[in-house]
Amino acid sequence: VMDSSPTPSTFDFKSYMLEKAISVNKALDASVSLQEPVKIHESMRYSLLAGGKRVRPLLSIAACELFGGHEAVAMPSACAVEMIHTMSLMHDDLPFMDNDDLRRGKPTNHKVYGESVAVLAGDAMLALAFHLVATETRGVSSDQVVRVIVELAKAIGAEGLVAGQIVDVCSEGDPNLGLEDLEFIHRSKTAALLEGSVVMGAILGGANDEEVEKVRKYARCIGLLFQVVDDILDVTKSSKELGKTAGKDLVADKTTYPKLIGIEKSREFSDELKREAIDQLAGFNSDKTAPLIAMANYIANRDN
Ligand code: GRG
């Protein structure tokens, strides 16, 4: 049996991620069975179990464990945030949104099941996420469960994911898109659900209000960091791959951090965000902050 309270010096993030991803995948598999109507459940399972790094569930579990909660307490919420993430990708991939044929190395949901099924499977997954949190969360007060549901709703709706997507969609090709707009899109599209994931886990772990706000700030920083690094990789990858591939990111003239402030300033900004994220964890039990610190480093240093 592995010790679930790692110390920073001995902490092996890769094994931790792998171990958690396995239990998350098991729980996700169990959360959608192949029942009638088979078509919709098949489509849901196709995208939900197609792989993915499981960053959001891992954040929920790690935040819960930071405050002494057990993995099992956070598991329904961990599955819920992955369901929301997956359904947002399914909808984003549709022809009238981002129009992608491939996702997580496989044909996109609508390519396999058709557009109507992909829309409905996404809708069903959105509902299932809330159902799971409300019915399967054990060992905490109903007040905590309600607060978790509030966080999840906030992260998704017109002040979260949807806000980011609508501004992104409406500003496509706008040459006047500025730094503030770009930051709004990233904070809403990407950081909001990462924030929700961490905060939900913290609430379930028993964090008090002050502690919740600290990890919220941590999550906001790594959320924006995720996107700034993505933008930087876009440039470095594009220049490496130029000539080899005609990938759409190379063609599309989208606004990025390097385009607005240059690559050097973008790198400085990402260093700053990483530092600010890790600073938020300074007051907590250093045995237990290792996974969240490692996650910030992982997001900052990833190379694809
Ligand atoms: C949520 C109701 C509702 C509607 C969706 C379409 C839409 C509104 C939002 C799209 C948001 C979007 C595409 C955000 C990008 C998120 C992002 C950072 C994706 C990459 O995440 P990773 O790297 O991917 O964690 P894996 O595949 O590893 O899970």
Q: 67-79: per-residue pLDDT in tens?
A: 999 999 999 999 9
pLDDT digit string (tens) for 12-23? 999 999 999 999
- From atom 7 of ligand 1, which residue's Cα is the shortest distance away? 88
φ, ψ of residue 84 to 5 degrees: the values are: -65, -45
pTM above 0.90, yes or no: yes
φ, ψ of residue 102 to 5 degrees: the values are: -125, 140
Cβ–ligand 1 contact at 55 (below 6 Å): yes
Mean pLDDT, all residues of the chain: 93
pLDDT digit string (tens) for 249-267? 444 678 999 999 999 999 9
Sign of the dihedral defined by the CA atoms of residues 167, 49, 61, 69, in that order: positive
Complex-level ipTM: 0.96
φ, ψ of residue 242 to 5 degrees: the values are: -55, 130
User: Which pLDDT does position 244 carry in this prediction?
Assistant: 47
pLDDT digit string (tens) for 132-176? 999 999 999 999 999 999 999 999 999 999 999 999 999 998 999
User: Which pLDDT does position 303 carry in this prediction?
Assistant: 86
Cβ–ligand 1 contact at 165 (below 6 Å): yes
Cα(83) to centroid of ligand 1, in Å? Answer: 10
Cα(8) to centroid of ligand 1, in Å? Answer: 30
When pLDDT is averaged across residues 53-60 and rounded to a whole number, the result is 97
Residue type, 37: P
User: Which pLDDT does position 286 carry in this prediction?
Assistant: 86
pLDDT digit string (tens) for 189-223? 999 999 999 999 999 999 999 999 999 999 999 99
Strand, helix or coil for residue 178: coil
Nearest to 302 by CA among 220, 192, 227: 227
User: Which pLDDT does position 33 carry in this prediction?
Assistant: 94
Residue of 150 and 303 predicted with greater confidence? 150
Domains within the chain, CATH numbers bracketed: 10-301 (1.10.600.10)
When pLDDT is averaged across residues 23-30 and rounded to a whole number, the result is 98
pLDDT digit string (tens) for 78-111? 999 999 999 999 999 999 999 999 999 999 999 9
- Tell whether the model's pLDDT for residue 243 goes beyond 60: no
Helices 142-156 and 115-136 cross at an angle (nearest 10°) of 160
Rounded Cα gap, residues 189 and 228, in angstroms: 13
Residue from 48, 81, 85 to probe ligand 1 pocket by mutation (most atoms less than 8 Å from CB): 85
9 pLDDT tier (thresholds 50, 70, 90): low
Residue from 161, 170, 188, 256 to probe ligand 1 pocket by mutation (most atoms less than 8 Å from CB): 161
- From atom 5 of ligand 1, which residue's Cα is the shortest distance away? 88
Nearest to 152 by CA among 198, 200, 191: 200
Confirm if 66 and 284 have CB atoms less than 8 A apart. yes
Which region, left, alpha or beta, applies to residue 139 given φ > 0 means left and ψ of -120 to 50 means alpha? Answer: left
Q: Residue 202 burial by CB count (10 A; 0-12/13-18/19+): exposed, middle or buried?
A: buried
Cα(231) to centroid of ligand 1, in Å? Answer: 15
